[in-house]
Structure 1
């Protein structure tokens, strides 16, 4: 973390690590048509039924054109007469011309064909609503997806984030009443209900054609067992594990990386990753956030230069300490220059009235704050 320019230049095969601001709405993607069930309009009726309706509409249009040609009149009036004949609510054309009588008989025949089409539409709509309330099964030809194991607190947020990124997901959950089941049902995400330790559960999630496995249940043994079994099915599978103990997560990461050097393996302790954020919140508003980098954490803090003797009177480049802290932004409070600046001049001298944003390691920030002078007592 926070290397100097010489260390970056001497490191072989490494690029530049930059920070990018990304927007995040913090909510699940908006549902489409029929928001309560999440059923798209194209899935409400089958393709065969849609073609039948299109053929029926073409027949009605043909009858209306034939009526215009034979009997004359406006297109609207001809269409109206055709629909009356179609639904058998028009008077019989016993005294009309022969062409009118033939068109009325054809319209009545097409009206009889309309009944099974309407009946099929009602049955398909009911079937679609019924299946929408149940969990979706993984499709047969699914590939390149992410298998998400666990739909608890962490799994639910991971599922929402993956769907925001439009990444195909297949969920595996042992508890049918888990927190994220309702979200998976609403988003129409394929879900397999079953114990991952049982044979055939990961196969049902198409693990052999998956792109990655995210094991985020609250049980370390289940996550580890699922990862080992998935690696036995596909050795090059990308795996991310949620483990409670960070030391155990480190050992698992090293073991899996040594056993499968060609695959990408990540093991993380949620409590360890969340600890700096909690510690930063306890330290006050000066801690803006915490960014996990592999197994380390980079903290961002806003500090007043007047309270930091190691910053006052020194240039932006001069206060940089490799592996400890670096000034990434500056807030000037004098006249028209007030505001937050990110494109800093390395030779700018920090003044006591300035306020800086630092990127620091936990040890570096602790050392910097420990040397802050105590306010004088009255």
Structure 2
């Protein structure tokens, strides 16, 4: 909307200048007794400093010309502020949002690659608040996050302060779905050090390593909810069943495996 480009203070300033121009035009019409359109035209000439001095005319006309010139001087900074504010609004609209200060009860999504982008889209379809963390400023999911107006924290999750910027201490759950096992594991371990009862979903590729990590996390944090999933293990049985011409009815993940129902 046009009103969103400019602040309320700037709109009031523009309205005040328009009111001054109208008042000066009416005063010139009364003082000089010329046509109202002519008075408005002369006022605009004075306002924009177009050289037409009121030499030899009445004192009222000369005073009004000086006042119109003063209003014209006031108009320049207001127009400059309007241009800068409009550019700032467009820049803000095209930039990534930052997490609001009082945000809480959201899901922290780590990674905006192929899997992370699909997860983000699904979470927003369910109207679940999300804050994304991504280290690559050219990640494929940043465009989706910008389109969905989802807050994004750009930075390496292994660096101090990145998860804090995503409000991990007030979040509902952490989804670590990057393509790097060590990054996902380190993020989960750090998040658990901040909040031992945090619900986490951890994506790991190496199955033996994932099994050990999953069981260790469950033992270390028995009060928390932990899930470890392999995207390959989840997708492979359904893919193989479809290739064999089977009608896949459903899949039930059981720890690091998946139970496939097919006809």
TM-score normalised by the chain length of structure 2? 0.73
1:219 to 180, 187, 191: 180
- Cα gap change, 1:123 to 1:264, in 2 (>3 Å): same
Deviations 1:300-342 (A, max 9, x none): xxxxxxxxxxxxxxxxxxxxxxxxxxxxxxxxxxxxxxxxxxx
- Which among 137, 141, 149 is matched to residue 110 of structure 2? 149
Whole-Å separation in 2 of the counterparts to 1:68 and 1:292: 83
Report matched runs for 1:28-177 at 5 Å: 42=4, 44-46=5-7, 48-64=9-25, 66=27, 71=33, 79-89=40-50, 91-94=52-55, 98-127=59-88, 135-164=96-125, 167-177=128-138
Gaps of 5+ in 1: 1-32, 34-39, 297-360, 370-378
Is the CA contact (8 Å cut-off) linking 1:147 and 1:213 kept in structure 2?
A: yes
Hey, what's the Cα distance between the residues in 1 that align with 2:27 and 2:46? 14
Structure 2: stretches of 5+ with no match in the other structure: none
Deviation at 1:45, TM superposition (A): 4.2
> Partners in 2 of 1:168 and 1:248 — Cα distance?
31
Residue in structure 2 matched with residue 243 of structure 1 by the alignment: 204
Cα RMSD after superposing both structures: 3.9
- Judged with a 3 Å threshold, the aligned counterparts in structure 2 of structure 1 residues 98 and 185 are, in CA distance, closer, same or farther, namely same
Q: Which has the larger radius of gyration?
A: 1
Correspondence list, 1:161-310, <5 A: 161-164=122-125, 167-184=128-145, 189-244=150-205, 256-257=217-218, 259-260=220-221, 262-284=223-245, 287=247, 291-293=250-252, 295=254
Task: Give, in angstroms, the shift of residue 178 of structure 1.
Answer: 2.8
Distance 1:90 1:186 in 2: 50
